[in-house]
Amino acid sequence: MDLSTLLQGIQSGDRRLIARAITIVENGLPDSHALLSGLSIRREVPVTGITGPPGAGKSTLINALIREICSRTNAKGLPNQVGILAVDPSSPFTHGSLLGDRLRMQEHFNNPQVFIRSLATRGALGGLSAKTVEICDVLRSAPFDYIFIETVGVGQSEVEIISLADTVAVTLVPEAGDEIQALKSGIMEIGDIFVVNKSDREGADRFAAGLIRTLHERPAAGTWNIPVIKTIASRNEGSAELLEAIDAHARHPSPGKKLSLMAERAYRLIQHQRMKDLKVEQLEHALREEYDKPGFNLYRFVTRF
């Protein structure tokens, strides 16, 4: 298939061709750079990161958001279209995605308004695949009204999502109340919206109030007042309020943040391009020859690369 046909297919929303383009980009196939360079990226499409520790109910929350979004129409009066990138842990054997999030979203598999793609972290420690930026841009070139990225849930290292998403929704549960002090130094600093999921559990009101107090202690970043929204995603409660908060944040003027996001994405792309020919196996082979030599120094060794 020629590149122009593929690009036209992405722009028209052809799910099969979008999936093919993602495969090309994710695996770094020969046409990937030409494909990415030819994209017409719709920067107005909001990218929302759903993050938080394991067990917070992120997949269930996204399920509820999808139901809410699909029940509404876009500015053109057409049914909303949703793209989901679910970043899963990698299989230690195939290095591919374990597909856990796709299984939890199976009710939407046959929904023509929804496109779901699982990505393997492939060793990325921050909860994001190294290719997430590029794949997200493929989705932003298609006619999606919303794009969500769900991270794997690896705690404070998940702050990496702030470099990619226009809006970050941090999902917590009432039982996390004792962890607030530890969270302050990491995940608490990245949220544009905070969600207390499973808020039918004991202590939810007290936990939400504690979150609000903690957020008020945070240095002000612009004029956006960070909301704390209680949800019970398994019962679709609070999903409409959360979607309204996501929409409000997308409309909120933040030119400085958008420029910072773009600079961070550019940095990651440049970093990836410079590192793409360097493999751990290559380093291990070179080390095998040098490691046992007298006076071996790791810092002198790495200057060769």
Distance between CA 284 and CA 291 in Å, rounded?
Answer: 10
96 burial (CB, 10 Å; 0-12 / 13-18 / 19+) is middle
What pLDDT does residue 77 have?
A: 94
The pLDDT of residue 271? 81
CA distance 219 to 62: 29
Tens of pLDDT, residue by residue over 183-207, are 555 667 788 999 999 999 999 999 9
List, in order, residues 6 or more apart from 24 with CB less than 8 Å away: 31, 32, 35
CA–CA gap between residue 242 and residue 247 (Å, rounded): 9
Domains of the chain plus CATH, in order, are 1-40 (no CATH), 41-253 (3.40.50.300)
pLDDT along the chain (305 residues), means of 10: 93 96 91 93 91 86 94 94 81 42 63 88 53 91 95 60 86 75 62 94 91 77 86 95 96 80 82 80 89 89 87
Asked whether the beta carbons of 117 and 19 are under 8 A apart, the reply is yes
Alpha helix (H) residue ranges in 27-146: 32-37, 58-70, 100-104, 132-140
Q: Supply φ then ψ for residue 145, to 5 degrees.
A: -90, -25
